[in-house]
A and B are shown apart, each in its own frame.
Chain A
Amino acid sequence: MKNRDPDLLLFHAPLLRQGMTTPRAMRDVLYALLPATAASLWFFGVSAVLILVACIAGAVLAEWLFANRAARSESLRDASGLLTGLLLGLTLPPGLPLWMAFLGGFVGISLGKVIWGGLGHNLFNPALLGRAFLLATFPIAMTTWVTPTPDGGFLNIYPGNLALPFMQAQIDGVSSATPLGMLKFDQQVTELTQLAFGNVSGSLGETSGLLLLLGGIYLFLRRDLDWRIPVSILVTVMVFSACLGLFDAERFPTPLFSVFSGGLLLGAFYMATDPVTSPVTPKGAWIFGIGVGVLVILIRVFGGLPEGVMYAILLMNAATPLIDRYTQPRVFGRGAESG
């Protein structure tokens, strides 16, 4: 051998990889959200763009500000901050002041992720934590809903968007209740077709059920989500609603209404399935999903709020370490596990 030997790498086996990487999985979720994001632009116009951009800017700024110098470019590149901002934005009302959206993104990442030790260490879903923060801090702005497509067309901006920080937000414009709110407070039922195609008032991303479902199917085909979680959530919600319907069909929502209204599809496919904050064991995923489903209906039907997806997921996030602990799979060649 005339040439010098090559410098050889010394990695530990196995030396082959499946090919899927964590940043790629994150990007897949972003792609899956594209149709629903496009629909939010269609229904809410420029306002939707502004809200989403504000959330993403807040999230990415927090990510950049709190990351240490060495990890800075890395933590931005894995797209998880971007994803958190987008998810948060999709759960917000289109007429929300932009500075609140920005603050939500910032708090979501800083208190929801960085403070725990960064990606992979957080207990709660950062996007939902940001939303919970906003709902607790600005309850009126967060529950003021507007009808899709503002008067004057696509380019118009909801006046609420431009409110200045800490000035009394102008809550006017054409406000209207969400389908769940109408059901809860006015006993008014919205048509299912309207729910499925999204021409209803609500937060940016929860309006079009079918497009959310489409993205969910994409993620399932790419094997990026644990199918057990959305399946168990949706089945639980439908079964639970059907049971309630047996008592009083007038008062309680139908199973399909329950599934397509509010943020259930967004939550079930994109937030409950966040791998970091959901159980890692297969049995745990079932328990987690059933828990979310039961809590959603309990809050919606018996609680004080019209919508309960956010709190249902956050509560089950808190239970995740415990669920994981008690659902270890049975090891090959061993009897049933205890603890």
Chain B
Amino acid sequence: MKAIRRLRRNFEHGVHPAHHKQQTENLPIQRVPFVKDYVMPLGQHIGVPAKAVVAVGERVQRGQLIAEPGGFVSTGLHSPVTGTVREIGDFRGADGRFAPAIAIEADAFATQQVDAGPAVDWESLSLEKFIEAVQMAGIVGMGGAAFPAHVKLSVPDGVKIRHLLINGAECEPFLTTDHRLMVERPEAVLEGAEIMRQKLGAEETVIGIEANKPDAIKTIRKHIQPNQPVRVVPLKVKYPQGAEKMMIKSVFDKEVPAGQLPRDVEVNVNNVGTIVAVADYFLRGMPLIERVVTVAGPGVTYPANLIVPLGTPVREVVRFCGGLKPGTREIIMGGPMMGRPIASLDVPILKGCSGVLVFTEQQTAGRKEYPCISCGRCLEACPYFLNPSRLARLSKSRMFDEMKAYHVYDCVECGCCTFACPSNIPIVQLIRTAKDDLANRKEPEE
């Protein structure tokens, strides 16, 4: 029975949104031109914001450290361009809040050439030094969460990592950044994976790719060296295949216990983009100063996969893609299932931003809310087997404490329930409201 399930390579429940990747999946990655103004928020990762180490008026080089980690769960920040620090202060972020950031004006006469710095001799680094290097390089999870990568590498004593799992599922509709990276830079993916695997002491590397990217599967397989312990696992096209616990279930048929981490089942999961960032830093000396962003959706004139320097305003990225079409109603940073709509085009591209999606009336219509009729579609969608309908009802009644008994903390906000809901109830939003309320209530006690 177990063997049969293993063959199916799947997790239970989940949803099947149309993947909408046709727009950009065959477009090679191109570089956006440099612009004049950049804004680098100090808190573009989960955890403590970084601390600025430059002063206003100071000249900075592309790739120079401009902020150091503000704590353990924090990373370094580097200048995306050669130029001058114009201002250090509060700037409007993608979430609409003002937050500390460093504004840099690019030098109009600098070449902005992508300087390959000296490679880092990673093989001779101790594990501690390696982890520190990853932290200073500013590398975070590039799939969207922007969780500092070095924290995942810091495995407590006695815990063994046997499998390094590379997440190439890219299950969010519209996005094609990981897909293009795997097709265009398979060597970088495999190099980064090898560095990580050796440093973690893992036995093998597994690359999980959704079956709707046959070219990526083929290309990666072709580039695997005969003696490399790497295997590619094609996965069923289903959302959220790229949620790390779902992918572990699909690939290894193991359930990560609630409240625990992948390392508790001897797995370390990293996104393709993160792995490429590791390779770029240790082999080419490039800290994390730019990333691949998919610009797509029916409201954008020329969809594209772009290398964008961090801190570039969304306005400039959209302008490079021919601007917005008339009828634009919504602009999303990230994917359509877990991303965030932005209120203004004047917010910067961040480390965790995998896409800029432009939606028109057609996508935004039909979100009118109706009463919950307990149809149970959300229960059949939830990959965590929660009861979203009950959670939403409790949240609407502000019975947040009761929601704990229904495991509200196990929710990863993947959005399957809301996607499936015929009454368009904003279930994820209601769940987040409850989580926020519970978290804010705790603070005064501490």
What residues make up the interface of A, taking CB atoms closer than 8 Å to B?
1, 5-6, 8-25, 78, 118-121, 226, 275-276, 278, 280-282, 285, 324, 328-334
Contacts and interface: CB of A to CB of B under 8 A. Distances in A.
A21 B341 contact: no
Top 4 A-B pairs ranked by shortest CB distance?
Answer: A14-B415, A120-B371, A12-B429, A333-B258
Nearest to B299: A6
Interface in B287-340: 315, 319, 323-324, 328-332, 334, 336-340
A9 B371 contact: no
Nearest to B331: A8
A25 B17 contact: no
A5 B324 CA distance: 9
A313 to B, nearest CB: 16
A265 B295 CA distance: 52
Contacts of A285: 376
Interface stretch (B60-68, B207-215, B273-281, B342-350): B342-350
Nearest to A339: B405
B379 A280 contact: yes
> Taking chain A's interface residues, is the majority helix, strand, or loop, or is none over half, making it mixed?
loop
B374 interface: yes
A6 B389 CA distance: 34
B376 A25 contact: no
A217 B432 CA distance: 38
Contacts of B129: none
Contact of B387 (A14, A19, A278, A281): A281
Contacts of B370: 21-23, 78, 119
A120 B386 contact: no
A12 B428 contact: yes
Contacts of A11: 330, 341, 364, 367, 426
Interface residues of B, number: 72
Contact of A25 (B339, B380, B422): B422
A42 B262 CA distance: 64
B336 A119 contact: no
Interface of B: 15, 17, 96, 173, 245, 249, 255-260, 315, 319, 323-324, 328-332, 334, 336-345, 359, 363-364, 366-368, 370-377, 379-380, 383-387, 389-390, 406-407, 410, 413, 415-416, 418-424, 426, 428-429, 432
Contacts of B418: 14, 17
Given A275-B375, A331-B385, A14 B338 contact: yes
6 contacts: A5-B345, A11-B367, A18-B422, A121-B371, A324-B390, A332-B410
> Taking chain B's interface residues, is the majority helix, strand, or loop, or is none over half, making it mixed?
loop
A270 to B, nearest CB: 15
B363 A16 contact: yes
Nearest to B413: A13
Given A16-B17, A18-B420, A332-B245, A8 B341 contact: yes
B341 A331 contact: no
Scoring A14, A20, A78, A281 by chain B CB atoms within 10 A of each residue's CB, the highest score goes to A14
Nearest to A117: B371
Contact of A282 (B323, B342, B379): B379
A12 B329 CA distance: 14
A9 B329 contact: yes
A25 B345 contact: no
Given A16-B17, A21-B370, A332 B383 contact: yes
Contact of A18 (B15, B379, B406): B15
Contacts of A332: 245, 249, 255, 258, 383-385, 410
Given A331-B386, A334-B407, 17 more contacts: A5-B345, A8-B329, A8-B331, A8-B341, A8-B342, A9-B364, A12-B428, A13-B428, A16-B363, A17-B366, A120-B372, A275-B374, A276-B373, A281-B379, A282-B376, A328-B387, A333-B259
Contact of B373 (A22, A24, A329): A22
Contacts of B319: 1
Contacts of A12: 426, 428-429, 432
Contacts of B383: 332
Contact of B330 (A9, A14, A226): A9
Nearest to A10: B341
B259 to A, nearest CB: 8
A119 to B, nearest CB: 5
